[in-house]
Structure 1
Amino acid sequence: MTTHDCVRQQLHTLETLLREHRHWRQDAPQAHLFTSTQPFFMDTMEPLEWLQWVLIPRMHTLLDNAQPLPEAFAVAPYYEMALAADHPQRETILAVLQDLDALFARDKS
Protein backbone atom coordinates (compact mmCIF):
# COMPACT_ATOMS: atom_id res chain seq x y z
CA MET A 1 0.00 0.00 0.00
CA THR A 2 1.40 3.41 -0.94
CA THR A 3 1.72 6.29 1.50
CA HIS A 4 -1.09 8.03 -0.40
CA ASP A 5 -3.34 4.98 0.11
CA CYS A 6 -2.48 4.78 3.80
CA VAL A 7 -3.17 8.49 4.30
CA ARG A 8 -6.53 8.18 2.54
CA GLN A 9 -7.42 5.19 4.72
CA GLN A 10 -6.47 7.09 7.88
CA LEU A 11 -8.56 10.09 6.79
CA HIS A 12 -11.55 7.78 6.33
CA THR A 13 -10.91 6.33 9.79
CA LEU A 14 -10.86 9.83 11.26
CA GLU A 15 -14.06 10.84 9.47
CA THR A 16 -15.82 7.67 10.61
CA LEU A 17 -14.76 8.31 14.20
CA LEU A 18 -16.02 11.89 14.10
CA ARG A 19 -19.33 10.79 12.59
CA GLU A 20 -19.86 7.91 15.03
CA HIS A 21 -19.37 10.20 18.01
CA ARG A 22 -21.52 13.00 16.58
CA HIS A 23 -18.69 15.45 16.05
CA TRP A 24 -19.49 15.72 12.33
CA ARG A 25 -21.50 18.84 11.50
CA GLN A 26 -23.95 19.05 8.63
CA ASP A 27 -23.70 22.80 8.08
CA ALA A 28 -20.43 24.27 6.87
CA PRO A 29 -18.99 27.20 8.81
CA GLN A 30 -19.49 30.64 7.28
CA ALA A 31 -17.00 31.47 4.52
CA HIS A 32 -15.20 34.17 6.49
CA LEU A 33 -14.18 31.59 9.10
CA PHE A 34 -11.92 29.97 6.49
CA THR A 35 -9.85 33.13 6.06
CA SER A 36 -7.97 32.68 9.32
CA THR A 37 -4.21 32.97 9.21
CA GLN A 38 -3.79 31.18 12.53
CA PRO A 39 -2.57 27.58 12.63
CA PHE A 40 -5.53 25.21 12.83
CA PHE A 41 -7.77 28.27 12.42
CA MET A 42 -7.64 28.54 16.22
CA ASP A 43 -9.33 31.91 16.17
CA THR A 44 -12.30 30.90 14.02
CA MET A 45 -12.98 27.17 14.45
CA GLU A 46 -13.16 24.57 17.15
CA PRO A 47 -10.43 21.91 16.86
CA LEU A 48 -12.74 19.17 15.59
CA GLU A 49 -14.33 21.56 13.09
CA TRP A 50 -10.90 22.19 11.60
CA LEU A 51 -10.41 18.47 11.06
CA GLN A 52 -13.74 18.17 9.24
CA TRP A 53 -13.70 21.35 7.20
CA VAL A 54 -10.01 21.94 6.54
CA LEU A 55 -7.67 18.99 7.08
CA ILE A 56 -9.77 16.14 5.69
CA PRO A 57 -10.97 17.90 2.51
CA ARG A 58 -7.61 19.50 1.73
CA MET A 59 -5.77 16.22 2.15
CA HIS A 60 -8.31 14.44 -0.06
CA THR A 61 -7.79 17.12 -2.71
CA LEU A 62 -4.04 16.48 -2.66
CA LEU A 63 -4.62 12.73 -2.88
CA ASP A 64 -7.26 12.98 -5.62
CA ASN A 65 -4.94 15.08 -7.76
CA ALA A 66 -1.85 12.93 -7.07
CA GLN A 67 -0.13 15.96 -5.55
CA PRO A 68 2.84 15.67 -3.21
CA LEU A 69 1.89 15.38 0.44
CA PRO A 70 3.19 17.86 3.02
CA GLU A 71 6.71 17.14 4.20
CA ALA A 72 6.39 18.60 7.68
CA PHE A 73 3.20 17.22 9.14
CA ALA A 74 2.19 16.71 12.75
CA VAL A 75 -1.28 17.51 14.01
CA ALA A 76 -1.44 15.24 17.05
CA PRO A 77 0.67 17.53 19.29
CA TYR A 78 -1.82 20.38 18.80
CA TYR A 79 -4.75 18.11 19.62
CA GLU A 80 -3.00 16.86 22.76
CA MET A 81 -3.24 20.45 23.97
CA ALA A 82 -6.51 21.49 22.31
CA LEU A 83 -8.77 18.64 23.39
CA ALA A 84 -9.90 18.81 26.99
CA ALA A 85 -8.50 16.09 29.23
CA ASP A 86 -12.05 14.95 29.99
CA HIS A 87 -13.18 14.86 26.33
CA PRO A 88 -14.84 11.43 26.00
CA GLN A 89 -13.11 10.49 22.73
CA ARG A 90 -9.82 12.27 23.43
CA GLU A 91 -7.60 9.19 23.50
CA THR A 92 -9.25 7.62 20.46
CA ILE A 93 -8.98 10.81 18.39
CA LEU A 94 -5.36 11.28 19.46
CA ALA A 95 -4.51 7.70 18.49
CA VAL A 96 -5.94 8.19 14.99
CA LEU A 97 -4.09 11.49 14.57
CA GLN A 98 -0.83 9.98 15.84
CA ASP A 99 -1.21 7.17 13.31
CA LEU A 100 -1.76 9.76 10.58
CA ASP A 101 1.33 11.71 11.68
CA ALA A 102 3.37 8.49 11.71
CA LEU A 103 2.66 7.96 8.02
CA PHE A 104 4.57 11.13 7.23
CA ALA A 105 7.45 10.23 9.56
CA ARG A 106 7.63 6.76 8.00
CA ASP A 107 7.80 8.27 4.52
CA LYS A 108 11.07 9.99 5.49
CA SER A 109 12.95 6.81 6.41
Structure 2
Amino acid sequence: MDRRLPELADHLLLIERELRAQGWWSATPPSAEALASVEPFCVDSLSFEEWLQWIFVPRMKVIIESGQPLPSVSGIRPMAEMVYSANLGKAFGLLVLLGEFDALIGKATS
Protein backbone atom coordinates (compact mmCIF):
# COMPACT_ATOMS: atom_id res chain seq x y z
CA MET A 1 0.00 0.00 0.00
CA ASP A 2 1.16 3.49 -0.82
CA ARG A 3 2.23 5.17 2.42
CA ARG A 4 0.95 8.52 1.20
CA LEU A 5 -2.70 7.45 1.18
CA PRO A 6 -3.60 8.29 4.80
CA GLU A 7 -1.85 11.65 4.57
CA LEU A 8 -3.52 12.45 1.25
CA ALA A 9 -6.93 11.50 2.67
CA ASP A 10 -6.30 13.80 5.64
CA HIS A 11 -5.34 16.62 3.27
CA LEU A 12 -8.56 16.21 1.31
CA LEU A 13 -10.47 16.70 4.56
CA LEU A 14 -8.40 19.79 5.36
CA ILE A 15 -9.07 21.21 1.89
CA GLU A 16 -12.79 20.61 2.37
CA ARG A 17 -12.70 22.24 5.80
CA GLU A 18 -10.91 25.31 4.40
CA LEU A 19 -13.41 25.64 1.55
CA ARG A 20 -16.22 25.53 4.11
CA ALA A 21 -14.47 28.04 6.40
CA GLN A 22 -14.13 30.50 3.52
CA GLY A 23 -17.77 30.07 2.47
CA TRP A 24 -16.68 28.44 -0.77
CA TRP A 25 -18.58 25.18 -0.19
CA SER A 26 -21.99 24.75 -1.76
CA ALA A 27 -24.89 22.50 -0.80
CA THR A 28 -26.20 22.64 -4.36
CA PRO A 29 -24.30 20.71 -7.05
CA PRO A 30 -23.68 22.26 -10.46
CA SER A 31 -25.66 21.00 -13.43
CA ALA A 32 -24.66 17.76 -15.12
CA GLU A 33 -23.63 19.81 -18.16
CA ALA A 34 -21.29 21.96 -16.08
CA LEU A 35 -19.72 18.88 -14.52
CA ALA A 36 -19.25 17.30 -17.96
CA SER A 37 -16.88 20.01 -19.20
CA VAL A 38 -13.76 18.73 -20.94
CA GLU A 39 -11.78 21.91 -20.28
CA PRO A 40 -8.98 21.71 -17.68
CA PHE A 41 -10.39 22.55 -14.22
CA CYS A 42 -13.78 23.00 -15.99
CA VAL A 43 -12.81 26.66 -16.44
CA ASP A 44 -15.64 27.15 -18.90
CA SER A 45 -18.40 25.95 -16.57
CA LEU A 46 -17.32 25.93 -12.89
CA SER A 47 -15.62 28.26 -10.46
CA PHE A 48 -12.34 26.90 -9.08
CA GLU A 49 -14.03 26.23 -5.73
CA GLU A 50 -16.79 24.26 -7.46
CA TRP A 51 -14.18 22.24 -9.35
CA LEU A 52 -12.38 21.45 -6.10
CA GLN A 53 -15.62 20.46 -4.33
CA TRP A 54 -17.44 18.57 -7.05
CA ILE A 55 -14.64 17.06 -9.16
CA PHE A 56 -11.20 17.10 -7.53
CA VAL A 57 -12.08 16.02 -3.96
CA PRO A 58 -14.52 13.25 -5.02
CA ARG A 59 -12.13 11.87 -7.67
CA MET A 60 -9.22 11.81 -5.27
CA LYS A 61 -11.36 10.10 -2.61
CA VAL A 62 -12.28 7.37 -5.10
CA ILE A 63 -8.63 6.90 -6.10
CA ILE A 64 -7.53 6.68 -2.47
CA GLU A 65 -10.37 4.45 -1.26
CA SER A 66 -10.14 2.03 -4.19
CA GLY A 67 -6.35 1.82 -4.17
CA GLN A 68 -6.03 3.06 -7.75
CA PRO A 69 -2.66 4.44 -8.81
CA LEU A 70 -2.11 8.02 -7.75
CA PRO A 71 -1.30 10.67 -10.34
CA SER A 72 2.45 11.09 -10.75
CA VAL A 73 2.24 14.87 -10.44
CA SER A 74 -0.21 17.45 -9.19
CA GLY A 75 -0.14 21.12 -10.08
CA ILE A 76 -3.21 22.42 -8.37
CA ARG A 77 -1.56 25.16 -6.32
CA PRO A 78 -0.26 27.09 -9.38
CA MET A 79 -3.79 27.10 -10.80
CA ALA A 80 -5.16 28.29 -7.44
CA GLU A 81 -2.55 31.07 -7.33
CA MET A 82 -3.75 32.31 -10.71
CA VAL A 83 -7.41 32.11 -9.67
CA TYR A 84 -6.85 33.91 -6.37
CA SER A 85 -4.15 36.36 -7.50
CA ALA A 86 -6.34 39.32 -6.51
CA ASN A 87 -7.28 37.76 -3.17
CA LEU A 88 -4.20 35.90 -1.95
CA GLY A 89 -4.80 36.87 1.69
CA LYS A 90 -8.19 35.19 1.91
CA ALA A 91 -6.99 32.17 -0.07
CA PHE A 92 -3.69 31.76 1.82
CA GLY A 93 -4.80 28.73 3.89
CA LEU A 94 -6.20 26.96 0.84
CA LEU A 95 -3.04 27.70 -1.16
CA VAL A 96 -0.88 26.18 1.59
CA LEU A 97 -3.02 23.04 1.70
CA LEU A 98 -3.02 22.66 -2.08
CA GLY A 99 0.76 23.11 -2.17
CA GLU A 100 1.17 20.43 0.49
CA PHE A 101 -1.14 18.14 -1.49
CA ASP A 102 0.94 18.73 -4.63
CA ALA A 103 4.10 17.87 -2.68
CA LEU A 104 2.59 14.67 -1.28
CA ILE A 105 1.57 13.52 -4.76
CA GLY A 106 5.08 14.27 -6.01
CA LYS A 107 6.76 12.08 -3.38
CA ALA A 108 7.94 8.73 -4.66
CA THR A 109 6.03 5.71 -3.41
CA SER A 110 7.87 4.01 -0.56
TM-score (norm 2): 0.91
Instruction: Structure 1: give runs of 5+ residues left out of the alignment.
Output: none
Which has the higher mean CA deviation after the structures are superposed, 27-36 or 88-97? 88-97
Q: CA deviation at 1:71?
A: 1.0
Partners of 2:59 and 2:33 in 1: how far apart? 17
State the match for 2:103 in structure 1: 102
Contact 2:81 2:88 in 1 (8 A): no
Q: CA deviation at 1:88?
A: 4.7
Q: CA deviation at 1:107?
A: 2.4
Q: Partner amino acid for 1:75?
A: I
Contact 1:3 1:107 in 2 (8 A): no
Contact 2:77 2:95 in 1 (8 A): yes
CA RMSD, aligned part only? 1.7
Contact 1:8 1:63 in 2 (8 A): yes
Distance 1:35 1:85, change over 3 A: same
State the match for 2:52 in structure 1: 51
1:1-43 deviation per Cα after TM superposition (whole angstroms, max 9, x unaligned): 9201111010000001111221110000000001111110000
1:26-85 deviation per Cα after TM superposition (whole angstroms, max 9, x unaligned): 000000001111110000000111000000000001111111111122111111111142
Q: Partner amino acid for 1:48?
A: E
**1:66-77 alignment runs, 5 A limit:** 66-77=67-78
Partners of 2:42 and 2:32 in 1: how far apart? 13
**1:21-100 alignment runs, 5 A limit:** 21-86=22-87, 88-100=89-101
Q: Partner amino acid for 1:49?
A: E
Q: Partner amino acid for 1:31?
A: A
Q: Partner amino acid for 1:62?
A: I
- Aligned residue pair count: 109
TM-score (norm 1): 0.91
SS at match of 1:73: coil
Partners of 2:85 and 2:3 in 1: how far apart? 34
User: Matched residues, percent identical?
Assistant: 30
